[in-house]
Structures are given as structure tokens and as C-alpha cells.
């Protein structure tokens, strides 16, 4: 059950970590809870000229968070969370990027004469997908194994040997910078698609399906980055400090 009262000075990332349903509220108001998760609700609202009281009312209307909408307790183990991210979010990106690229290629071929913005959408998404695939490989081969080692040390289990990093601080900051770039590309996509991935009135079924998948991709990537920036990376750095 949610017990912490929502106030304008609470961090966006903490609000969503406590109640996953809050992510939909943040997205509705255009508040960045993933890359901007360490910003207070009040500061984020001020930057977008939004009345924080309106957002707080929407959050309060959610009511107490049921167990199903809180972070699973097993994710308190850092290596369980890295596995979840890889098995769920990384797998989704690897599957959806080529499918969306193919759909955008079809749309450009069929509709670019009437909708020249499609070429920009395709180009922006191609860059985003390409960067994400390279980013995830770095996480899976370098940073996540180091975080898994921290989890083993926390449990007092035998070490797998000296890690690649003396501290995960630098690679975490590099991954956070990558996330910031991904967030900027997502913002460009949202602008290019009319602000909410709404297809034009003359859009065919493929047009509507592709834009719906782009919206889903954005939502999944927001959750993905939130789990890394505000839960996994924060937990790993806290654990490193604890272990000394």
C-alpha cells in the first residue's frame, strides 16, 4: 500500500518507483520521469508551465497502490533486476526496432509525397534504434556483469574475480548520457508525429499500426530507462558505497 503523501517536492523517479501507475500520469502531462527522474515534481511542472496541483490531483486519484503496481520485491536483488531488464526491455527493443524500421520504410514509399515528415521520422527512429542496440550491448557485456558482481558481494557469495571497473560510477554516468540522448530523440519523434503519435486522417491501416507501435516503443523505453537510472544504477552506487 502507498503511504508516502504526494507533494510537489518529491522526485519524479521516486513517485513512479513507488507506484508504477504514476508513469501514465507523468506521460499524460509530458513529465520526464526517466532521464529527469531526479527532478522534483514542482520543478518539472514549472519547466513545462503546468500547475503542479493538477498533477498531484491526478496522482491522488489513483488511490493506494496495489501490490501489482509496485516494484516486485525480488528486484531489490540487483542481479534479478538486470535479468529482468535484459529479458523484458532489451528483448523488446531488439524485436521491435527492425519491425518498426520496416513499417516506416513502407510508409515512406507509399505516403512521403503527401507527408514528407515521414522521411524525418524514419531517419530519427533509425538513429535511435541503432544507438539503443549498441548501448544495450555495452550494458550486457560490461556494466551489468559488474553490477551482478556487486549483488553477489552484498550477499556474501564468492567473487567471480576482479571486475572490469574499480567502481561502476563512470560507466553508469556514460549510460545515463546515452539515455539522455535517447530521450532527446524520442522527443523529436513525438514532435514529428504531431505531439502524440496520432496518424493523419488519410492514414492507412499500416500508418495507424506503425504510429501505435511508436507510442508503445516510447512508453516501454520510458519504463526501461526509469528502471535503470532510478532503480538499478542508484541501487548499485548505493551498494558500492556500503561495501566500501
Task: Read off the pTM.
Answer: 0.87
Question: SS3 letters for 164-182?
Answer: CCCCCHHHHHHHHHHHHHH
Total residues found in the chain within this entry: 244
Give the residue extent of every domain in the chain: 12-69, 73-243
Q: Which residue is listed with cell 524514419?
A: 122
C-alpha–C-alpha distance, residues 97 and 5, integer Å: 39
Predicted confidence at residue 70, as pLDDT, reads 61
Predicted confidence at residue 37, as pLDDT, reads 87
C-alpha–C-alpha distance, residues 82 and 143, integer Å: 10
Helix axes 117-138, 91-111, angle to 10 degrees: 160
Percent of the chain with pLDDT over 70: 94
Taking only the tens place, the pLDDT of each residue in 168-219 is 999 999 999 999 999 999 999 999 998 889 999 998 999 999 999 999 999 9
Predicted confidence at residue 162, as pLDDT, reads 67
Taking only the tens place, the pLDDT of each residue in 125-157 is 999 999 999 999 999 999 999 999 999 999 999
233 pLDDT higher than 70: yes
Q: Which residue is listed with cell 526496432?
A: 97
**Model confidence at 76, in pLDDT bands (50, 70, 90)?**
confident
Question: How many degrees, rounded to 5, is the angle at CA 82 between CA 230 and CA 173?
Answer: 45
67 pLDDT higher than 80: no
**Model confidence at 2, in pLDDT bands (50, 70, 90)?**
very low
Predicted confidence at residue 74, as pLDDT, reads 67
Rg, Å, the chain Cα set:
19
Taking only the tens place, the pLDDT of each residue in 82-95 is 999 999 999 999 99
C-alpha–C-alpha distance, residues 92 and 86, integer Å: 9
Q: Which residue is listed with cell 530519427?
A: 124
110 pLDDT higher than 90: yes
218-229 mean pLDDT: 94
Predicted confidence at residue 160, as pLDDT, reads 77
Predicted confidence at residue 1, as pLDDT, reads 41
C-alpha–C-alpha distance, residues 39 and 34, integer Å: 10
Mean per-residue pLDDT of the chain: 91
Reading the block at residue 142, the C-alpha cell is: 560490461
Reading the block at residue 124, the C-alpha cell is: 530519427
CB 92 within 8 A of CB 132: no
Predicted confidence at residue 7, as pLDDT, reads 85
Amino acid at each position: 500500500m502507498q503511504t508516502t503523501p504526494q507533494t510537489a517536492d518529491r522526485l519524479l523517479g521516486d513517485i513512479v518507483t513507488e507506484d508504477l501507475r504514476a508513469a501514465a500520469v507523468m506521460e499524460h502531462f509530458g513529465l520526464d520521469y526517466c532521464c529527469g527522474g531526479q527532478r522534483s515534481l514542482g520543478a518539472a511542472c514549472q519547466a513545462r508551465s503546468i500547475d503542479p496541483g493538477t498533477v498531484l490531483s491526478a496522482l491522488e486519484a489513483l488511490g493506494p497502490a496495489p501490490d501489482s503496481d509496485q516494484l516486485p520485491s525480488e528486484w531489490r536483488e540487483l542481479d534479478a533486476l538486470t535479468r529482468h531488464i535484459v529479458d523484458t526491455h532489451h528483448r523488446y527493443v531488439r524485436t521491435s526496432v527492425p519491425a518498426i524500421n520496416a513499417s516506416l520504410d513502407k510508409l515512406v514509399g507509399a505516403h512521403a509525397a503527401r507527408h514528407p515528415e515521414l522521411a524525418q521520422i524514419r531517419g530519427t527512429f533509425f538513429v535511435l534504434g541503432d544507438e539503443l542496440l549498441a548501448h544495450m550491448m555495452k550494458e550486457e557485456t560490461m556494466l551489468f556483469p559488474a553490477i551482478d558482481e556487486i549483488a553477489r558481494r552484498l550477499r556474501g557469495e564468492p567473487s567471480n574475480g576482479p571486475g572490469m571497473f574499480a567502481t561502476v560510477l563512470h560507466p553508469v554516468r556514460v549510460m545515463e548520457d546515452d539515455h539522455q540522448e535517447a530521450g532527446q530523440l524520442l522527443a523529436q519523434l513525438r514532435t514529428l508525429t504531431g505531439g502524440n503519435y496520432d496518424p493523419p486522417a488519410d492514414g492507412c491501416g499500416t500508418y495507424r499500426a506503425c504510429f501505435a507501435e511508436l507510442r508503445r516503443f516510447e512508453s516501454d523505453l520510458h519504463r526501461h530507462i526509469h528502471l535503470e537510472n532510478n532503480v538499478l544504477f542508484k541501487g548499485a552506487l548505493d551498494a558500492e558505497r556500503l561495501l566500501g
